[in-house]
Amino acid sequence: MVDPPKVGRESQACIDLYNKEYDQIFQGMKERALLLSDTFNEMVNTTCTDIEGAMYAFPQVHFSEKALKAAAQQGVPADFMYCMDMVNETGIMTVPGSGFGQEAGTYHYRMTNLVTPTEDLKTTLQSLKKFNENFHSKYV
């Protein structure tokens, strides 16, 4: 992508193959970005802005007072507790937003949209949705 094939330098077949692969990659990333933000916005106590031009989603998680107290008792931010519970229960690895200097009183995590194929991401998101529901039901 940094140095795409050019007319006169590479064959037309090479240029056509590059364009086909570029379009497939771009459309796949676009599809997965939409899938991520739509899924996050369907989840309990989670919101996410549309992903535009990035490889990551940063969904915001809205924690109950009970969840915030549980995290404080562990001596960690609530998003860190959420991410650790997520990886321990599902194997899904994310990065807590507290590592990015998020706005005080808000909690996020970062998840990539580079998972391929898209069907694998769909499976991952189903596990994430189930985890999220169980997590929040523990802290009502």
Task: Give the domain CATH number at 133.
Answer: 3.90.1150.10
Q: Read off the pTM.
A: 0.87
The answer to the question of residue 5 being in a domain is no
Question: Which CA distances in Å does 83 have to 20, 67, 92, 98?
Answer: 37, 13, 9, 11
Has residue 2 been placed in a domain? no
Residue 94: inside a domain, yes or no?
Answer: yes
Mean pLDDT of 42-54: 91
Separation of alpha carbons 115 and 113, rounded Å: 6
Tokens of 91: 């194997």
Residue 21 scores a pLDDT above 80:
yes
Q: What domain range is 24 assigned to?
A: 12-138
Q: Give the DSSP letter of residue 60.
A: E
- pLDDT of 69 > 90? The answer is yes
The answer to whether residue 53 scores a pLDDT higher than 80 is no
